[in-house]
Amino acid sequence: MAKRTLYKSNEKVISGVLGGIAEYFEWDKSWVRLIGAILIIFPGQILLGVIIYFIAAAVIPEKPSHTSKRDDSEDDDSVIEGEFHEK
């Protein structure tokens, strides 16, 4: 099994932390963002949630633009999809 790494999402809403967590666990980004927002603004814990979020934003690295080994070919622009027939 390939080793997965947690990166910030390129589809950012604020800093890409919750989107990156969703991509890492292969969960729906909308649900993770909704649950994350609820946990961050939970009554009485807003400051703690915001602090944890910004620490995560500072610690989680940006997704590299080019990698030497790609596992997901659907994001690879160099792959041409289609059928080719010989005559």
- pLDDT, one tens digit for every residue, the chain (87 residues): 678 888 888 888 888 899 999 998 999 999 999 998 888 887 777 888 888 889 999 998 998 876 555 455 455 556 566 666 676
Q: Are 26 and 15 in contact (CB under 8 A)?
A: no
**Residue 11: inside a domain:** yes
**Residue 85: inside a domain:** no
3-state helix, strand, coil in the chain (%, to 5): 45, 0, 55
- The total of structural domains in the chain comes to 1
Q: Taken in order 15, 17, 20, 22, is the CA torsion positive or negative? A: negative
**Residue 45: inside a domain:** yes
**Residue 12: inside a domain:** yes
**Residue 36: inside a domain:** yes
Containing domain of residue 35, as a range?
A: 7-61
Amino acid symbol at 22: A
**Residue 87: inside a domain:** no
**Residue 77: inside a domain:** no
Indicate whether this model's pTM tops 0.95: no
**Residue 55: inside a domain:** yes
Q: Are 42 and 31 in contact (CB under 8 A)?
A: no
- CB-based burial, 24-58: b 16+ in 10 Å, e otherwise: eeeeebeebbeebeeebeeeeeeeebeeebeebee
